[in-house]
Amino acid sequence: MTIHPQETSVCALNKVCHTFGYGGSQLSRDEALDFLFATQIQTKFNKQVLTFVSLYPSSQAALAQINPDDNSTSLRFEVFYQGHELGNGYQELTDGTALQKRFEADNLVRKGNNNSQIPIDNNLITAMQNDMPACSGIAIGVDRLLMVLLECETISEVMAFTAQNS
26-68 tens-digit pLDDT: 999 999 999 999 999 999 999 999 999 999 999 999 899 999 9
- 83 and 139 in one domain? yes
Q: What band does 166 get if pLDDT is binned at 50, 70 and 90? A: low
- 18 and 71 in one domain? no
User: Is this structure's pTM higher than 0.75?
Assistant: yes
Look at residue 133 in the predicted model and tell me its pLDDT. Answer: 87
Look at residue 132 in the predicted model and tell me its pLDDT. Answer: 82
Q: What is the domain count for the chain?
A: 3
For residues 94 and 74, is the Cβ–Cβ distance under 8 A? no
- 72 and 8 in one domain? no
CB atoms within 10 A of CB 112: 8
- 8 and 35 in one domain? yes
- 6 and 33 in one domain? yes
- 143 and 73 in one domain? yes
> 90: closest CA among 70, 64, 67, 66?
64
- 76 and 145 in one domain? yes
CA angle, corner 111, sides to 106 and 112, nearest 5?
100
Max CA distance (Å), the chain: 49
Mean pLDDT (the chain) is: 91
- 142 and 89 in one domain? yes
For the segment 75-83, the average pLDDT, to the nearest whole number, is 93
- 148 and 70 in one domain? yes
| More confident site: 126 or 160 | 126
Look at residue 113 in the predicted model and tell me its pLDDT. Answer: 87
- 100 and 88 in one domain? no
Q: Which domain holds residue 3?
A: 1-44
- 147 and 68 in one domain? yes
